[in-house]
């Protein structure tokens, strides 16, 4: 999976120096999952046009942001980032165990729940994973989701498995008798 990290600007440093500093910090901490680092200054200058933001959004599967700049990002990323549910996840880049902090988000799943509609999408794996790992993730995600819903599993009507470019394949459908209860 392609992962992009937005970082805050280091005082009195160029955007390139800031990005190099964070790349070295990640390397020292043993973090290898971050594909690209973009400083806040670079985001403001190079990704101003809508088309540049759209290309950025489509290039990466996951966006992370330094917790110190999270509140500044919505105005620079635009509403299309948030509508497509590619909201940058806030991470603490000052954490003592940075690798654990970042891998929690890179290898984990996020289920954004909104009051709009009754369908939700969660990323539970990637195409580089083995089939048994994906199955284990689907089962674990289904158990957690069911616990969070009112009426637990009874509120789940259908469950699909899908990649970014495939059709949705149903893997669970509730019986009609379950829906009436």
Residue 181 reports pLDDT greater than 80: no
Predicted TM-score (pTM) of this structure: 0.70
Same domain, 80 and 146: no
Q: Side-chain half-sphere of 104: how many Cα atoms within 13 Å? A: 12
Mean pLDDT of the chain: 82
pLDDT value for 6: 92
Verify that 94 and 142 share a domain, yes or no: no
**10 and 32 both lie in a single domain:** yes
Shared domain for 55 and 101, answered yes or no, is yes
Reported as a pLDDT band with limits 50, 70 and 90, residue 177 is: low
Count structural domains, the chain: 2
Domain identity same for 30 and 80: yes
Q: Is the pLDDT of residue 79 over 70?
A: yes
Lowest-confidence segment of 22-31, 43-52, 107-116 by average pLDDT: 107-116
Q: Which of 181, 111, 107 is nearest to 145 (CA)?
A: 111
**Highest mean pLDDT out of 119-123, 127-131, 167-171:** 167-171
Q: What is the mean pLDDT of residues 11-36?
A: 87
Q: What is the mean pLDDT of residues 57-68?
A: 88
Domain end point (choices 84, 106, 128): 106
Same domain, 162 and 99: no
State residue 114's pLDDT score. 59
- Two tokens at 71? 């509140």
Interatomic CA distance for residues 1 and 4, integer angstroms: 10
Residue 133: which domain range?
109-181
**Domain match, 54 and 95 both:** yes
Burial 84-96 (b: 16+ CB within 10 A, else e): eebbbbbbebeee
Q: Are residues 147 and 100 in the same domain?
A: no
pLDDT value of residue 179 = 52
Binning pLDDT at 50, 70 and 90, where does residue 113 land? low
């Amino acid at each position: 999976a392609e992962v992009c990290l937005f970082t805050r600007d280091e005082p009195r440093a160029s955007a390139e120096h800031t990005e190099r500093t964070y790349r070295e910090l990640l390397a020292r901490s043993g973090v290898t999952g971050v594909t690209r680092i973009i400083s806040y200054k670079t985001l403001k200058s190079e990704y101003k046009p809508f088309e540049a933001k759209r290309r950025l959004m489509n290039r990466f599967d996951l966006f992370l942001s330094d917790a110190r700049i999270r509140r500044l990002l919505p105005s620079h990323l635009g509403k299309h980032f948030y509508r497509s549910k590619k909201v940058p996840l806030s991470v603490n880049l000052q954490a003592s165990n940075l690798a654990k902090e970042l891998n929690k988000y890179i290898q984990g799943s996020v289920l954004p729940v909104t009051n709009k509609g009754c369908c939700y999408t969660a990323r539970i794996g990637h195409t580089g994973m083995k089939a048994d790992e994906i199955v284990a993730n689907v089962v674990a995600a289904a158990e957690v989701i069911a616990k969070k819903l009112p009426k637990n599993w009874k509120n789940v009507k259908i469950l699909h498995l899908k990649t970014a470019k495939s059709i949705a394949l149903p893997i669970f459908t509730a019986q009609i008798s379950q829906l009436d209860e």
